Amino acid sequence: MIGFIVADLRRFKGGALAVIVLIALSVALSVTVTLQERAVRLGSARAAEKFDLLVGAAGSETQLALSAVFLQPAPLPLLAGGVLATLSNDPRVAFAAPVGFGDSADGHPVVGTTTGLIAALSPALAEGTPFARLGEAVIGSDVPGHIGAEIKPMHGAANEGGHTHTGIVYQVTGRMAPTGTAWDRAILVPIRAVWQLHGMAATEDHDHDHETHVDADTALDEHFDAETPGVPAVLVKPKTIADAYRLRQEYRGEKTLAVFPAEVLTRLYATLGDARGLLLAIAMGTQIIVIAAVLLVTIMHVGARQRQIGALRAFGAPRRAVVAIVWGELFLLFLAGFVLGLALGYAAARLISTALTATTAIRMPVEFAREDLSLGLWFIGLAVLVSILPALSTLRLSPARALRS
């Protein structure tokens, strides 16, 4: 019987292929939406794991997290340098790393920070050593370059009309190991070099447009006090979970803002989940339309094959055999379309994730999960039921009438 079904499908391979492609495209849409939403959620969550607490000036929690964790450029208000000094000396804090951004080099963000953050992101460098002078830099794993290469920072970005700084040229001394975060595309330099380059002398007295020359051979100084210039954000590593919650409570006020990146991501996931639900509803609606169209075409096809079905009945084929043949053909088409749709959806999600990773450096794993079985079981169950309808319609055909038509 299987051989007959395969041979019959070969006779109508053009129509069979069209049905398979229609089903595959509708399934691929659902698979792509599901896998891509999961990839973004897992990738961003893993990228934020290294950052326990963010402290910045009062403003948008979401923008603070996007800028400090994912290095998305945005004009954040500056946090008073005295807050950085207080956090650095707080016994509840393992380390507090300032983050100063706004410059770039060859499309990569140049971030001013400390060696403490480098050690947190990459406990062991892939090569070289951390910076020890103001004119030195450590690059992320995805930044092209080699130890000893020179980096000329640019204020802003080239596509935004930025200009190249003349006050300093950084020399690469190390490369971080891959972290799977946006920091793999970053160039890390001493925060004091960034302050001096932009003419920032104190928290309340600085001029971003005034560029000064930086002595590249000056030894690194990571001691901060009340006269420390302002920073867009401070990445804080509390010693305990209890300390993290106490610090978050203390620094949520009129002038400062403290957030857990995971909390911000949870709210973003809720929005993303709503969008995913809408897209899945559209995908499911598309599948229902496709299945209805396939069902109508199949019923018409069965009607056009009355003589063949009548001949089978006349030669003694039992009714259940005819029903099984018609049901088997349609079910095989659904199954082939489903398998092809899984492959297309997975490939599409991989392509999208690869493009997003190339842009953000955040690794976005495309993988199936146990809950995806429900999608497969739902579709297979629906295919079994839908395939029965055209098959049962053959029971109404009289062999004699079918042969006369």
Q: Is residue 117 part of a domain?
A: yes
pLDDT at 84 over 60: yes
Assigned domain for 265 exists: no
Helix (H, G, I), strand (E, B) or coil at 69: helix
> Could you tell me if 59 and 39 lie in one domain?
no
Give the pLDDT score at 236: 93
Q: Give the residue from 259, 293, 317 where a domain finishes.
A: 259
167 and 103 share one domain: yes
For the chain, give the mean pLDDT.
80
Instruction: Determine the pLDDT at residue 207.
Output: 46
Label residue 211 by pLDDT band (50, 70, 90): low
Q: Do 72 and 219 reside in the same domain of the chain?
A: yes
Q: Are residues 172 and 286 in the same domain?
A: no
Is residue 300 in a domain?
Answer: yes
Whole-number pLDDT of residue 104: 86
pTM across the whole model:
0.71
Number of domain units in the chain: 2
pLDDT confidence band for 201 (50 / 70 / 90): low
- For 105-163, write each residue's pLDDT tens digit: 888 899 999 999 999 999 999 999 999 999 999 999 989 989 999 999 887 665 555 67
Give every CB contact of residue 258 below 8 A, 6+ residues apart in sequence: 53, 54, 55, 236, 247, 248, 249, 250, 251, 252
Beta-sheet strands, E only, within 84-182 = 93-105, 108-113, 127-128, 136-139, 150-151, 154-155, 163-164, 170-175
Contact 162, 156 (CB under 8 A): yes
Please compute the mean of the pLDDT values over residues 341-347 and round it to a whole number.
93
Q: What digits encode the pLDDT tens for the residues 366-383?
A: 888 888 888 788 778 877
Span 334-361, average pLDDT: 87
How high is the pLDDT of residue 148? Answer: 92
Q: Sorting pLDDT into bands at 50, 70 and 90, what band is 2?
A: low
Residue keyed to tokens 């349609």: 330
- Same domain? For 363 and 247 the reply is no
Q: Helices 13-48 and 319-360 meet at what angle, rounded to 10? A: 40
**What's the distance, Cα to Cα, between the start and end of the chain in Å?**
25
- Judgement on whether residues 8 and 123 belong to the same structural domain of the protein: no
Regarding whether 281 and 254 lie in a shared domain, the answer is: no
What are 8-40's pLDDT values in tens digits? Answer: 556 667 777 888 888 888 888 888 888 888 888
- Pick the last residue of a domain from 259, 283, 305: 259
The reply to whether 283 falls in a domain is: yes
Query: What number of CA atoms fall less than 13 Å from residue 133's CA on the CB side?
Result: 13
pLDDT band at 180 (very low <50, low <70, confident <90, very high): confident
My answer on whether 350 and 223 are in the same domain is no
Residues 371 and 296 in one domain: yes
Are 302 and 198 found together in one domain? no
Q: Does residue 249 sit within a domain?
A: yes
- Kindly state whether residue 217 falls inside one of the protein's structural domains: yes
Which range marks the domain in which residue 76 is found?
Answer: 53-259
